[in-house]
A and B are shown apart, each in its own frame.
Chain A
Amino acid sequence: MTAVDAMAPWLAQTDVQPLLRWEWVTDNLDEIVTRGAQHFWLTAVSVVVALVIAFPLAVLAQRRRWVIQPITWVSSVLYTIPALALISLLLPITGLSLTTVAIPLISYNLLILFRNTLAGLDGIDGDVVEAARGMGLTERQLLGRVRIPMAMPVIIAGIRIATVSSIGLVTIAALIGRGGFGQFILLGLNTFFWTALVVGVILSVAFAFAADLLLLGIQRWATPWTRAAGVRAVGT
């Protein structure tokens, strides 16, 4: 059998198969919704859990600089392990469960969120903090009323990066049946059925875009003063 013969079914199929069969989409609406929910929850859990861990660490690191090194070291090591490798390593321990997928996602988000939150807290104008302290804010009030609100644009930017990268990474979890829209991509690739592939790709990308836009909207809403920065009044 020649190489061309081996490719024959694939070639034959691409000739006749449309890119998108709507009847397949309508027949599988339930499955699409289920996978969508899975994709959403995996992303949400991995970002929220990572934030719950990274945020206090960043707040701590902002005042106790020595903790930055060990935290960055640990999260960088986690970040360098390929997702597939980490999932395979976890399989014997956590099986085909959600946890197996969530752990790699959370560990990647840790580094992103820790770094961004710390950068946001560090990037605050020192004059503002000093003036606030000089007016009699306690250290706790400085954190809650000055540092964190002022760092918000950078913190939310970190959440956006973590969210979009998580949405992409979830598709890899299709290998253990937890891949959200990635499940359709895998199905399409395995069976040369383009409709599944196209549906998986389009929905994953659309989800990433929608989540990013939503977070951008939240950032605009929560930090109205950042828009003011572009406007300069005249006069004295």
Chain B
Amino acid sequence: MISLEHVEKRYPGTAGPAVGDLTLEIDEGETVALVGPSGCGKTTTLKMINRLIEPTGGRILLDGTNVLDQDPVQLRRGIGYVIQQTGLLPHRTIRQNIATVPHLVGWDDSRIDGRVDELLEIFDLDHELLDRYPAELSGGQRQRVGVARALAADPPVMLMDEPFAAVDPIVRGRLQDQFLEIQERLGKTIVFVTHDVDEAIKLSDRMAILNIGGVLEQFAPPETVLREPANDFVREFVGAERGLKRLALMKVGDIEVERGPVVTSSTGADDARRAIDAGGFDWVSIVDGDELLGWVDRQALEGCDRAGDATPRRFSAYVTARDSLRQALDSIVTSRTAVAVVVTEGQHYRGILTLEQISKEIVA
């Protein structure tokens, strides 16, 4: 979809190039993060794709056509563009801002209105905001309007320059989740720049790690970068906690869960005690059918005929197949029972995850 071939950008009067000799192949429907320290040319690279910056060497092919052979204005109208401070036009209402590109390319009013409605729904923005000015919106709302505006004319390609850097961490997390949901639905080809390696890991299908002068150190899926950093630069750049970061990428649903020590309400107390001994923990779950009632220990079973006579205690937290192993780990280290209980979406018992299982995944 987007091919950078030996792309170079030199500014007159500077010793080294901003981007030296960069070759990158970005597939259709893929989200690629350009990440690296300041001065690595990541923003320069992004802006060369829509010719806000003209390369001094190499070729950039968009859908097979060299962008340098196209009229820059027409080229840009076909590419979504989002920047950090959103760049919303302060003197235009939200409606007018979103409609900028459709208006430029000559859509009629009813088509524009329909598209604006559609985008409001996609981005969970209120209709009341349409006639307001950007200054009347919160940072998170402005950011969503910025992305909605870039998507307005439904371009196949989106370029985003530090799209979530200007909002506070809580809002950023929420916007990132929403970004993932929307991208799953729309399947755009997205190139985004970030200095935040965690953001790159969370959002990208592949991350391009750039060094000073636009030197490509590694271009691979986040999982690969974390598992096998190409060199010391990448290792240092992705930083400590590589294992934890990988856990954040892996889902509970991706690994086998253990059944764990389980009895039913009608199990005799002696059998329940034996199940506790056999399970390797000092407790046993009571599951009727696949409904999890809770857990009991020896003390609770005292004087009971059957497991069901004891009062089960609830597990403090559950995880589902969609949660990350990092969340499961958190659940393990913070619970009295030292396991993460895995349930299905309908709160049906599936099994447990232990610390050993998770550490096995990291080492694997």
Tell me, yes or no, whether B136 is within 8 Å of chain A by CB.
yes
Tell me, yes or no, whether B218 is within 8 Å of chain A by CB.
no
Taking a contact as CB atoms closer than 8 A, the residue among A134, A229, A236 that contacts B50 in the complex is A134
Cβ–Cβ < 8 Å partners of B363 in chain A: none
The answer on a CB contact under 8 Å between A136 and B83 is no
Tell me, yes or no, whether B77 is within 8 Å of chain A by CB.
yes
Tell me, yes or no, whether B265 is within 8 Å of chain A by CB.
no
Cβ–Cβ < 8 Å partners of A132 in chain B: 87, 89, 100
Taking a contact as CB atoms closer than 8 A, the residue among B85, B100, B133 that contacts A135 in the complex is B100
Taking a contact as CB atoms closer than 8 A, the residue among A127, A230, A236 that contacts B138 in the complex is A236
Q: Which residue of chain B lies nearest to A139 when distances are taken between CB atoms in the complex?
A: B73
Taking a contact as CB atoms closer than 8 A, the residue among B89, B132, B141 that contacts A235 in the complex is B141
A123 shortest CB reach to chain B, Å: 12
B86, B87, B137, B138: which has the most chain A beta carbons within 10 Å?
A: B87
Cβ–Cβ < 8 Å partners of B111 in chain A: none
Tell me, yes or no, whether B91 is within 8 Å of chain A by CB.
yes
Q: Mark A193-236, 1 if CB is under 8 A from B, else 0.
A: 00000000000000000000000000000011100111111111
Q: Mark B156-167, 1 if CB is under 8 A from A, else 0.
A: 000100000000
Tell me, yes or no, whether B4 is within 8 Å of chain A by CB.
no
Cβ–Cβ < 8 Å partners of A234 in chain B: 138
Question: Which 7 A/B pairs are nearest by Cβ-Cβ distance?
Answer: A131-B87, A136-B77, A236-B140, A134-B81, A136-B76, A228-B133, A225-B133
Measured CB to CB, the residues of B under 8 A from A are 50, 52, 73-78, 81, 83-92, 100-101, 104, 132-141, 146, 149-150, 159, 171, 174
A–B pairs, 11, beta carbons within 8 Å: A128-B90, A133-B76, A146-B89, A150-B90, A228-B134, A229-B90, A229-B133, A231-B136, A233-B136, A233-B137, A236-B139
Known interface pairs A135-B150, A150-B90, A228-B134; 15 further A-B residue pairs with C-beta atoms within 8 A, sorted by A's residue number? A125-B85, A134-B52, A136-B73, A136-B75, A136-B78, A136-B101, A228-B132, A229-B90, A232-B138, A233-B132, A233-B138, A234-B138, A235-B138, A236-B140, A236-B174
